[in-house]
Every structure is written in structure tokens, then in C-alpha cells.
Structure 1
């Protein structure tokens, strides 16, 4: 009886092989026709939730969808039986026949190849391996003992998962209780002198957020692994568990490859920055030595600091440009887009900033102003207290602090009262207009007398009087003197005392101070008699 069945089986296989050979002979003609026709839509053959193969070509007039349905029907029928199924492949012309026992499961043709793969045999072997897994999992799904064992492993994994979650929560609570004590014990490490750099409350909040992120990262990782393990225990859900593992491994491999791939470039970038730091320190020391008197005329104590900053900035910008291609992610589109955005922002919004910085450099190296000098800029008068890259600060005689843009200083006339004096001090000047009926020699003598009476005005060099204009109705007299160095407020007081002395001297000698824009002389002189100098509420001082 067994020999008869083998004979009938061999006869059936022979007939089948003959039909397949005849079909294969017509395959080339069918393939030529299929090549001229539009490509059919691919269809996936999936058995028991596991993907076996994706059909992409039309075979003997059957579309991929029809081929998938026929193969599924054959495989389901074979799996429903109790026989021991073996999966094998046989070549047939340019295609491969995948056999499930004595049944033809499906045919793998060159049209079924995935893009980038050139071997039909490799595709057939991969499909056969997937079909073997289907056969094995079909047997496991019918095995009650295997299912009970899988359920037991899943229960143990679930208990372990719950224990890990509780352990992570317990460790997080213990760390939150321990951190304040550690912070209090090492609080001196976060102080500069007696000043706390970081507030303990803010630091505790930051650490709490970091622990919270770490806690949820571990929870998600454990949940992912638990779900992957449990799904892998049962035949039907095993493909899902395997895909989860594959995704996690691919992500870990991607991150590891990225880190390892970025390390050489990162090492080069770090080396460039260390070299730039060494060159910057060397240039700082070199410029400090070259700033000594008699070495370089334009490099002095005033220009040393901005020159050092500019040199360091140029070195670091060059180092950044050299290290940029080696930075991780420098070639990505996101990095390029960010670079373009930063460049656009600088080009649109930094024009005025660049202008101010250029004006600051001009003021620094032209030495128009220096801290401590008394100057007049655009109608503002005072002592220069600070010169920055973008602005200059001036303190007026009234105690006001003026912040003037450097571009305004370079674009206007600047009067420096501290440069033309001999020795230390600054220039003090004032203007009076007296009618032509008063002798100019008398006016000059009275102005010099008022200067001699003013404490703070130097006798050497001696004050001078200049007739700066001969107007229609009066000449203009300018008193120029040199005062001792003082703060801005005493200078304002000095001018006030000088003006008071000028009025007193002119009153003593009976000369009125007025600009005679008139039609005729006044009937009486506009003078203040001495006896009215201290009219109420003024009080005469003991020194008067």
C-alpha cells in the first residue's frame, strides 16, 4: 500500500513538473508582455500575522493580489492538516518554486525582487525561511503546554516589571530626601566669597526635574522591554515583539554609530580650540610686553585692552571657522538652516551695532578722548568717566551721567579742555560783551582781576583775555585760564565763583555788563551799588 502511494505521488509530481516546465517556457513571453503593461500593485503574503513575501509581479496573468490569495489558501490548507511539513525551494528557469511538503506554496519571480536586490535565490530563501517560521509557530499555537509555558514566562516578566517600577520610584524618593542634606553640606562649593552663585531652591528644583526625567525614561524603557518580551512569547504576537526589539536595536545602533562617527571630528575640533586658546594667551602676553613705552607708538596703556580683545576675537573666530566642519551635525540641513538664520539676523539687525563698534575703535586708536579728560561733545560738557566699544559715559558738572553713542562723538565736533594745557589741569573760559564806550584795556584788566580772585585758577600759566569779535554794538571778550584738576562738580562751582567775581569787579569799577542793542544810551548806568550787593535775603560772608 505504501509503495502504491509513493508511485502515485511520483506520477503526480512528474505531471506537475511538466506543467511547470511548460509554464516556465511561456514565462519569458509573459514577462515581455508584463513589462509593456503598467506595473501591478504589490501584495503582501501574511500568514498568522507573519509576513512571508511581497509579490510585485504578474505571473501567467495572475496579479500580485491573486497570487497572494492563492498562496494563502494553499498554506492554510496545509497547516490545517497533521502531517509534518517541510519547506524547500527548487529552481525553475529564472524563478524559484517554494514547496510546502508536496504542495506548491508559491513561485518567486524576478519581478518580485525588492529594489536594490539582484538575486532571486536570496529572495526565495528568505521567503522559505519565513514560511518555516510560520509552520513552527503554527505547531506552537496548537501546543497547550507551550502556551502555558509562555503564559508563565509572561507572568514572571510582569511581576519583575512591576518590581522594577516600584524600585525606581523608591530610589527616586530616597534621592529627593537625600539631596537637600547633601546640598546643605556642600553649599560652600557654590559660593564666590560670601555670594551664593546659584540659589539652593532653584538648584533643588533643577535636580528634581532631572530626576523626574530620568524616572520616566526608565519607566518607558522597562515598559518597552516588558511589552516586547511578552509579545514574543506567543506565536501570533511574536512578529510584533520582534519588530519592537528591532526598532530598539536600530535606535541604539543609530545613536552609537552617530557617537562613534562624531568622535574623530569632535577630537579635531577640541584640538583646534585648545590651540586657539594657547595662541590667544601667547598674543595677550606679547601685546602686554609690546605696550611698554617706546616700543610701538599706537600701542599704549589705553589701547592695550581693546587690542587684546580684538586679537582674541579674531583668533577665536578663525578657530570656530576651522572647527565648524568637524562639529557633530555640521553637515545636516538643520545646522545649515540655523547658520543661514543667524547670518540673516546679523546682517539685518547688526548694522548699527557694527557702526557703533567701528566708531569705538576710531575713538580708541585716534585717542580723541581719554578717561578723566574734560570735554564738550554736541553741547554736552563734562568729564569722561568710561569709554566702551559702543558708548562713552560723561559726568557733567551738575552730577548727571550722560551715555553718548560713539557714532555721535565721531560725527560731531569734540572740544577737549584737558589737552591744550601745560601740565595737569583743564581750560576754563567765559565770554562777556561790553559796549564800545568802555576802554578795552580796562575790561581786560577787570577780567584778569576776577580770575586772580577765583580760588582754583592757576597763576602760572597766567590767564589771558582775547577779543574774539567786534560786533555791531559791542566787542566780545573771552577770558581763558587754566584750573587745577578737580572733579566735575567743583569745576561747575569754579565757573560759578568766577562769574560772581566778574560781576563784583565790574560793579566796583562802575562798568555795566550788557549787550547794548538799543536806540539810545540809558539815562542811568545799569550797575549794582556796593551797599546793595548783599540785599535780602543774601548774607555777607566773613571773608567779603
Structure 2
């Protein structure tokens, strides 16, 4: 008796250990792969868990067999639900189709097991209805007729598009020529029809292919939806097109408020720019501000407009469509990096241009010498300055180079408009300085283009070891826009003529020893012609 009890105890312990091992293996076993149940090319539901020892794949095979047998045995099988504790049994006729368990429910799609079971039952009812439709010869003939009619309409539309395209291409040159003739600025035609025709024809071709693709898409979706087996494909095509259209429409509608705010900021910035220009024009009137005049008015207006528009762009940026996307942010960072790396020299040139403008170092029309370049300033820009040399060359100089070198302005020291003309000659000490001065002034009077008032002046700028240095300084006539090089050439020619007339050599003497006779000018020769003695009062 004791041995029998011991044997029963051992068997119970073995069963307990087996059950515990099975429970532990079940707890540590990996989740089985989900399997989709499809009947007649239509998805009914997805099994995500094992049930009663059957994997999702096995459950799918068993459900397919049961549903196909029910469809073959009954003419009108009825789909119903039966609750089993927390699960639901889906019946087709009197046979079990499958079971919907709580672990099969996707929480992102359904809120409860009942809702998932109802959805699976509805899909199965649709399969039953489409199976009956596929077995009805009259309905199949009707679907074929509808597909043929749709195909005929599709072909007719394609032919009509081709016909309209040919007619439009024949009439397009005439229409373009007629309308482009009206687009003129003065006598200049803005758009040439010969260049516009290829562009318009290509745009029409792209539009034609887009319409063809859309018609083909709709035709294919309609034809596939006529037949039970291909109906899921047609529905997916139509749903995808509707989803795309809804997405685009939602994006457009969602972007309208932001675009409205951005447009309001644009118009406010435009009005602020016009108002600032009027204010600056009033402030530039004489006697208002010393730093703001007609010369600095235009760059000041540009700077003010740039500041206003940059502020408006910063304010409108968050309201632009797609401003919050990663692509838009990445593009903005890339553009900012490119500008920061490549605009250092541009910013330096612009800063130099502002310095030249507001310090009034240069003005258009002034004759200047910048380093080794000499000419008349024709344009003072934000980044570069243009000067016209005496040889007719137009030089474009960077503003940073001008601010970094010595600039000689020959027009600032003159009386009124014009510029200074000067030249240097060196004559020996044996020639009276009064005679040299008189001859230089005579040459200046003979030069056409040199002002008589203020009169020319001669300065002895140096008493060198071998000769004195004479500098003739005169002012050019501003009404005669003769290049400075031409005027200097005429002045030099007259100096040579005057010196030759009075027998004075233009030379710079050098010697190796003392001369036999002293090199000095007696007093009776101080006023040698053309020099004139001072009149006694």
C-alpha cells in the first residue's frame, strides 16, 4: 500500500514538472510571425498569435479550407459571430471559419476585440458576395460590357487629345506671333516667338503626358473594379489617388493661413520701404543733416530697404509652407553656410563702398589718382569704383583696394568744378628764375582748356645740387571734358615752344668739376624777356 502511494506521488510529481516545463517554454518561446488571411484576393484579417497550439500560418490554412468548403457547399452562406469568453468565433453557415482572439487585435486599428471581429466578418461577407458574383454569368457579361465601354471612352479621349494637340501646334505660331508683338517696351520686343515656341510646345507635351497618365490610371482602376477577383486592386488604386488628392488638398488648405500672414508681412514691408524713402528724401534736403545729402541718399535708401526686407524675411520665415520640415531646415543651413563662406570678400567690398560713400572720399566727375591709376571717377558703386583714364580706358577698381591705398584728389582744391593740372621742369641755376616762371605762365596761357581765373601759379619746390625744380599748377576748364592726358600733352608742347622761342634749354645739368666761369645771374639779366620788372609806384 505504501509502495502504491509512492508510485502515485512520483507520477504526480512528474506531471507537475512537465506542466511547469511546458509553461516555462511557452513563456520563453519567441512570438510567432503574423500571417494574413486572404480569400479571393481580398484581405480578411491578420492572425498575430498562436491559438490552441496552432501557429498563425496553421490558422490561416485551416480558415481557408473551412471557408472554401462553405462557399462550395452552400449557395448563400450566412456569416455570423459567436462570443466565446474574451474571443469571438466567426461562423460561415454552420461551420467555424476562424477565431478572433484578443492577441490578434492591433491596438492602432481597433479599440476592442468586438470591433476587430466585426471588421473581419464584414470582409468575409464581401468575399461571399463577390464569390456569388463571380459565379453569375450575367454579372460577368455586364462587367465585360462596362469594361469595354470604359476602354472605348478611354481610346476616344486619347484620340481627341491627339487631335486637339495637332490643331494647337498648327495654330500656336500664329497666336504666339500675334500676342508677342503686343509685348513691347518702346520699340523693343520683349519676347521673341521663335525662342518661345519650343518652350511652349514642350510644356504642352509634358501636360499631355500627365493627362494621359491620369486617364490611364483612372481607366485601369475602373476596369479592375468591375471584376470580383481584381476588385481589391482597383479599389487600392482609387483609394491611393484619393489619398494623394486629399493630402495635397489638406496641405494647400493648411498652408493658406501661413501664406496669408506672409503676404501681410510682405505688404507691410513694402509700405515701410516706401515710407522710409520719402522720409529720407526729406531728411536729405540742404540744412537738415550734414551726413545725409543727395550723394549719400541713394545708398542710405538701399541700406534701409535691405534692413527692412531682411527683418520681414525673418518674420515671415516660420509661416512659409514647409518651413518646419527637415528638408527646408537643411536647405536653409546649407545656404547660410555657403553665404558665410563665400561672402566674406563681398561683405568687405560692401563695407569699403559704404566708407567711401559716407566719408565722401570720391565723387563722380572728380579727377583722382588711386595708386598708379589716374582718371575721372565715372561711377561709385557698392562694391567697385569705375574711373576713365586719359587714354580712354575704363578701369574697375575694388573698393577695398581704394580704402587701402593713398588717393590723390585733384578736384577738391580747385575753385568750383574742375581739376588741377600740374607739371614739373628742372632748369639750371644760370637761367633766371623769373624768366623760367614767366615762360611757364606764358605756356599755361597758350594752352586751351586751362582757366585764366584762378590764374596759374609757379612754385619752386626744391633747390637741388644741380638745378632748381619748378612746378606749374593750373586749373582745367570743367566745361571742356578733355582728358587730363591730352591737356598735359598740349601744356608740355607749349612749354617747349615758349622755351625754344627764348633760347632756354630744358635740361638738368650735371658736372664733374667746377666751371671756368661762375654760374650766377647778374642783376641786369634778372628780368630777361619775357620777365617784366615790377612797376614802381
Match of 2:118 among 108, 112, 125: 125
Measure the CA separation in 2 of the matches of 1:200 and 1:263. 36
Q: Which residue of 2 aligns with 1:70?
A: 62
Give, in angstroms, the shift of residue 108 of structure 1.
Answer: 1.4
Aligned-pair Cα RMSD in Å:
2.3
Residues 292/320 of structure 1: CA separation in 2 closer, same or farther (3 Å cut): same
Q: How does 1:528-539 map to 2 (within 5 A)?
A: none
Tell me if 1:392 matches 2:385: yes
Give, in angstroms, the shift of residue 382 of structure 1.
Answer: 1.0
Measure the CA separation in 2 of the matches of 1:88 and 1:70. 18
Residues 202/78 of structure 1: CA separation in 2 closer, same or farther (3 Å cut): same
Residues 88/517 of structure 1: CA separation in 2 closer, same or farther (3 Å cut): farther
Give, in angstroms, the shift of residue 329 of structure 1.
Answer: 1.2
1:30-60 Cα distance to aligned partner (Å, 9 max, x none):
9997664322211111111111111111223
1:432-470 Cα distance to aligned partner (Å, 9 max, x none):
223344444443333223223323222322222223234
Q: Which residue of 2 aligns with 1:253?
A: 246
Measure the CA separation in 2 of the matches of 1:368 and 1:268. 44
* 1:386–1:393 contact (8 Å) kept in structure 2: yes
* 1:49–1:236 contact (8 Å) kept in structure 2: yes
Moved more, 224-233 or 188-197: 188-197
Give, in angstroms, the shift of residue 490 of structure 1.
Answer: 4.3
Unaligned runs of 5+ in 2: 1-20, 517-537
* 1:356–1:407 contact (8 Å) kept in structure 2: yes
Tell me if 1:209 matches 2:202: yes
Measure the CA separation in 2 of the matches of 1:483 and 1:411. 28
Q: How does 1:61-100 map to 2 (within 5 A)?
A: 61-100=53-92
Tell me if 1:170 matches 2:170: no
Give, in angstroms, the shift of residue 486 of structure 1.
Answer: 4.8
Residues 138/265 of structure 1: CA separation in 2 closer, same or farther (3 Å cut): same
* 2:391–2:483 contact (8 Å) kept in structure 1: no
Measure the CA separation in 2 of the matches of 1:283 and 1:118. 62
* 1:30–1:59 contact (8 Å) kept in structure 2: no
SS of residue matched to 2:508: coil
Match of 2:470 among 458, 464, 477: 477
Q: TM-score, normalised by structure 1?
A: 0.86
SS of residue matched to 2:396: strand
Q: How does 1:68-467 map to 2 (within 5 A)?
A: 68-116=60-108, 117-467=110-460
Residues 447/149 of structure 1: CA separation in 2 closer, same or farther (3 Å cut): same
Measure the CA separation in 2 of the matches of 1:31 and 1:150. 55
Tell me if 1:38 matches 2:33: no
Measure the CA separation in 2 of the matches of 1:32 and 1:513. 122
Give, in angstroms, the shift of residue 165 of structure 1.
Answer: 1.1
Measure the CA separation in 1 of the matches of 2:259 and 2:411. 54
Measure the CA separation in 1 of the matches of 2:25 and 2:111. 21
Unaligned runs of 5+ in 1: 1-28, 524-544
Residues 242/226 of structure 1: CA separation in 2 closer, same or farther (3 Å cut): same
